Structure 1
Amino acid sequence: MKAEELKGKTSDELTKMLVDMRKEQFNLRFQKSGGQLENTAQMRKVRRDIARIKTMLTQQQEKAA
């Protein structure tokens, strides 16, 4: 996911995406601990997507203030 894709989203949409990504991150961690995760790079991608979403939420809050 790119930051450009997130710019057009509302804060509600971003919050929902953040919740979904955190659930996915939890599931990936669980799979890794069980030895079922083959593509460990997916964890890195999800972690960075979470950071992008949080950054966009912060920027939107600063604009609104």
Structure 2
Amino acid sequence: MELISQRIKQKRLENNFSQAQLAKKVGMRQQSLQAIESGKTKRHRLFFELAEALQCDPHWLLYGDKQ
């Protein structure tokens, strides 16, 4: 089962963003994004901002499927 942390990292890499670049675009610290991608942080307040920056559907990012 693919986790949200894996989907975030997948989309970040597809968009050719470093962690630092994506974090800056979203308005968070790179260390916070690293914690999300590693699975250490389950809930993050900038979820919709991440989806927008990654140009993906928030539903897919959260659940891994299309509505």
Q: Same fold (TM over 0.5)?
A: no
**Structure ranking higher in helix proportion:** 1
Structure (1 or 2) with the larger CA radius of gyration: 1
Normalised to the residue count of structure 2, the TM-score between the two structures is 0.29
Q: Which has the higher contact order (CA 8 A, sep 6+)?
A: 1
